[in-house]
């Protein structure tokens, strides 16, 4: 139902834009999210996109531009007057404002920063100074802070007077030096006596992150402890800001897409709509060249068993099956391991041995089932016991090795400081294909010649 609603909104925006139906388009845009509008933009020409942006209010335009791809962002910014850009920036939250300004061309960035109020400019520059994929880069400096000696009554009155604060579900308690000493919830404020001080109801053990912390780790912490916001503090525990749940969800989506691209050997920065043909080709060619080299080496390995293949031609018929099963099992094991590492369920040295052993046992069980099935087929097809045993044993050993290597390689990459997501791409497939062929041909040579 929700998917149908999104599709209907995107289609309506696209259709009304092309018809230049100003009134209905403006009404449709107001009912739509920034993501819906950004998706509609991917189906429009550059002139149609500019017309659409002219019908979007300043309160939405900035969020839309933060959602579109890099190419569309630059094109739309270049076509917009400076006063409209400033109006868009003024409507954004501080963290989104910093992200927006950071994407601007250098000359325009200086103009926008110069037009901001001194305090707002300083805040934006501080946020832009942090790496974009760090806690500091995605945090919002605006949160509801109160002194530890504040009463519940005064805290509630302050919330009522200052309603435009992000994530008022949490009230962060600081001391006179601005250090975070506790956190409490809006529910606690309402349930306790109005005269109760925050120091009496707050939770003193606050889970915080440093501003340098990687955004993926922040998302992992938020998920592990079911937090709607994660406070960011410096090394002296001074409060800097919060990473809210909407930013956490964005991180999860970005990291999942990045890992998926790495697993495919494409690269984390691949842009399917904006990249030029040459750039897209270069991004995708890297691992394909590795695959090509691996395939050539694999053909040389098979060539080393030429005598075995000449005397038993039917061995060649089962090479694709054994390679496919080995590669499939290896990718399954590697994907599971990468996912466990990303979610924090497994760490190198903590639970990794148990994971390897579990996957090895799974490999043995799957190998027995698959090996028995293929061995039975081989005997039925060629009526040769030695061949059936070779096929069955090869499948069993290949699946076992594939499950073990698929688990071990991401763990070794993680220990070496490399991104384990690359392990589920061609690297694992090529390695396991080579091992599968060597095992298969070696067993055939030993038992059938």
CATH number of 145-244: 3.10.580.10
What pLDDT does residue 176 have? 86
What pLDDT does residue 259 have? 64
Note whether 153 and 195 are within 8 A (CB): yes
What pLDDT does residue 365 have? 94
Give exposure, 71-99, as e/b (b: 16+ Cβ within 10 Å): ebbbbbbeebeeeebebbbeebbbbbbbb
What phi, psi does 387 have (nearest 5°)? Answer: -65, -40
Find the radius of gyration of the CA atoms of the chain. 29
Query: CA 275, CA 257: separation in Å to the nearest integer?
Result: 16
Note whether 40 and 17 are within 8 A (CB): yes
Assessment of whether the complete model's pTM goes beyond 0.85: no
Tokens of 176: 């006179």
Tokens of 409: 């390689």
What pLDDT does residue 151 have? 93
What pLDDT does residue 240 have? 92
Give just the sign of the alpha carbon dihedral 48, 61, 123, 219.
Answer: negative
What pLDDT does residue 181 have? 93
Nearby residues of 63 by Cβ (< 8 Å), 6 or more positions away:
34, 92, 96
Query: CA 429, CA 423: separation in Å to the nearest integer?
Result: 9
- Distance, CA of 213 to chain centre: 16
| CATH T-level topology, domain 2-137 | MgtE N-terminal fold (1.25.60)
Nearby residues of 135 by Cβ (< 8 Å), 6 or more positions away:
209, 210, 211, 212, 213, 214, 215, 218, 230, 232, 243
The boundaries of every CATH 1.25.60.10 domain in the chain are 2-137
Note whether 147 and 175 are within 8 A (CB): yes
Which pairing describes strands 180-185 and 229-233: parallel, antiparallel, or unpaired? Answer: unpaired
Extended strands (E) in 186-253: 229-233, 239-244
What pLDDT does residue 80 have? 86
The boundaries of every CATH 1.10.357.20 domain in the chain are 277-448
Element at 170 (helix H, strand E): strand 170-174
Domain range 277-448, CATH architecture = Orthogonal Bundle (1.10)
CA distances from 429 to 209, 350, 397 (A): 37, 26, 16
Residue 21: strand, helix, or coil: coil
Strand partners, 146: 173
Closest CA relative to residue 428, chosen from 269, 260, 258, 265: 265
Q: Give the pLDDT means over successive 10-residue stretches in the chain (449 positions).
A: 72 90 89 88 87 89 87 83 90 88 89 89 90 89 88 89 68 90 90 92 92 89 87 92 85 69 57 59 71 81 83 86 88 83 68 83 93 91 88 92 89 78 69 87 83
Closest CA relative to residue 407, chosen from 345, 347, 350, 360: 360
Query: CA 107, CA 125: separation in Å to the nearest integer?
Result: 15
What pLDDT does residue 249 have? 81
- Distance, CA of 311 to chain centre: 51
Other CB atoms closer than 10 Å to residue 69's CB: what's the count?
16
CB-based burial of residue 437 (10 Å sphere; 0-12 exposed, 13-18 middle, 19+ buried)? buried
Give just the sign of the alpha carbon dihedral 75, 80, 86, 89.
Answer: negative
Tokens of 105: 């061309």
What pLDDT does residue 366 have? 93
Tokens of 63: 């969020």
The boundaries of every CATH 3.10.580.10 domain in the chain are 145-244
């Amino acid at each position: 139902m929700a998917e149908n609603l999104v599709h209907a909104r995107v289609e309506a925006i696209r259709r009304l834009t092309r018809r230049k139906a100003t009134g209905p388009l403006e009404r449709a845009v107001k009912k739509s999210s920034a993501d819906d509008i950004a998706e509609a933009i991917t189906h429009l020409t550059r002139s149609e996109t500019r017309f659409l942006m002219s019908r979007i209010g300043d309160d939405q335009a900035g969020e839309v531009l933060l959602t579109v791809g890099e190419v569309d962002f630059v094109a739309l910014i270049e076509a917009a007057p400076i006063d409209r850009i400033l109006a868009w920036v003024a409507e954004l939250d501080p963290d989104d404002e910093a992200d927006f300004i950071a994407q601007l061309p250098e000359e325009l960035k200086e103009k926008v920063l110069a037009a901001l109020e001194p305090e707002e400019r300083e805040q934006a520059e501080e946020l832009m100074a942090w790496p974009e994929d760090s806690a500091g880069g995605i945090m919002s400096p605006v949160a509801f802070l109160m002194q530890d000696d504040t009463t519940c009554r005064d805290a509630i009155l302050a919330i009522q007077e200052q309603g435009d604060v992000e994530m008022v579900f949490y009230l962060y308690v600081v001391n006179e030096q601005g250090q975070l000493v506790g956190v409490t919830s809006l529910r606690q404020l309402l349930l306790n006596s109005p005269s109760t001080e925050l120091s009496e109801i707050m939770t003193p053990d606050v889970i915080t992150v440093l501003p340098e912390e990687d955004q993926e780790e922040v998302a992992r912490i938020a998920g592990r402890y079911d937090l709607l916001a994660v406070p960011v503090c410096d090394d002296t525990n001074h409060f800097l800001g919060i990473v809210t749940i909407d930013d956490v969800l964005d991180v999860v989506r970005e990291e999942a897409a990045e890992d998926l691209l790495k697993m495919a050997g494409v690269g984390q920065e691949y842009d399917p709509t904006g990249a030029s043909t040459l750039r897209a080709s270069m991004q995708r060619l890297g691992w394909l060249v590795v695959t090509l080299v691996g395939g050539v080496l694999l053909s040389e390995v098979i060539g080393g068993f030429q005598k075995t293949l000449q005397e038993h031609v039917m061995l060649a018929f089962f090479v694709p099956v054994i390679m496919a099963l080995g590669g499939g099992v290896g990718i399954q094991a590697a994907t599971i391991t990468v996912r466990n590492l990303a979610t924090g369920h497994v760490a190198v040295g903590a639970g990794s041995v148990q994971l390897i052993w579990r996957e090895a046992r799974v490999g043995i069980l799957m190998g027995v089932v698959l090996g028995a099935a293929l061995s039975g087929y081989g005997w039925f097809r060629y009526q040769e016991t030695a061949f059936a045993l070779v096929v069955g044993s090869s499948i069993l050993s290949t699946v076992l090795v594939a499950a073990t290597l698929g688990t071990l390689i991401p763990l070794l990459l993680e220990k070496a400081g490399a991104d384990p997501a690359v392990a589920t791409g061609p690297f694992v497939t090529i390695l396991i294909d080579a091992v599968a062929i060597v095992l298969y041909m070696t067993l055939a040579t030993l038992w059938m010649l």
